[in-house]
Amino acid sequence: PRLHIVGPLMWRGREQPAPWLNDGDTQPLIYVTLSSTVETQSVLIKIIDALRDAPYNVVVSTGNVSLPPDLQLPSHIRIFSIVPGAAVVRRSRLVFHHGGHETLMQALAAGVPSLLLPMNPDQILVAQQAQALGVGHNLRRPTDLPFGTTTMHQLTPTQIRHEVDRLIADRECLNVCETFKRRLETCAGADLAAQVLEEIAQAHTE
């Protein structure tokens, strides 16, 4: 009786437009965002190398991770430190991320599949659940230890490109994500949470 399940609370504190995205682009957009760990720089470089010749537009959010200043970028790959994540996700065909809960929820709300490369134990659980639900592919091997980076170090640009292409072509995963999007559109988690809190407060004042 003291537990209330209200559904997802979709945080929109950084909700901003992304006017630099071209509405006329016909190429699929891939959004890449990873956590700010020591290994992130080398992984981002591998991802960029994997997508150099890919028929996709790519937006990479680096956070506080610096990339080499002499890194050569093709015109279809754009690098930013911070982007309005929800706006970019809505325009994306695939989100390549580390299994952060907020990023996954943004992807689900937009009906976009996730390619997940988790690094920390909480991210590993998120990635495992995402794959089990059919809303993404988990690149981390079950044999990797928590906090281990074996998969990250052994992944090659060729393998990354293969996984991106495979998920882009996965219509079943896209259909499952679109189903989740429709379900989330009917949720009112914040409204229900506010209602429960008001009822609790009222009960304590009576």
pLDDT of residue 21: 83
Q: Mean pLDDT score of the chain, rounded to an integer? A: 88
Confidence category of residue 33, pLDDT binned at 50, 70, 90? very high
In this prediction the pTM is: 0.87
Q: What is the pLDDT of residue 12?
A: 66
Q: Which residue has the higher pLDDT, 205 or 112?
A: 112
Under 8 Å CB-to-CB from 40, ≥6 apart: which residues?
Answer: 34, 62, 63, 65
Q: Please answer whether residues 156 and 146 qualify as being in contact, where contact means their C-beta atoms are separated by less than 8 angstroms.
A: no
d(CA 121, CA 107): 20
Tell me how far apart the alpha carbons of residues 88 and 91 are, in angstroms, rounded to a whole number.
Answer: 5
**Res 149 pLDDT > 60:** no
* Cα 206 from Cα 193, distance rounded (Å): 20
For 16, residues 6+ apart whose C-beta sits below 8 A from its C-beta are: 84, 87
Whether residue 196 contacts residue 4, with contact meaning beta carbons closer than 8 Å, is answered with yes
DSSP letter assigned to residue 176:
H
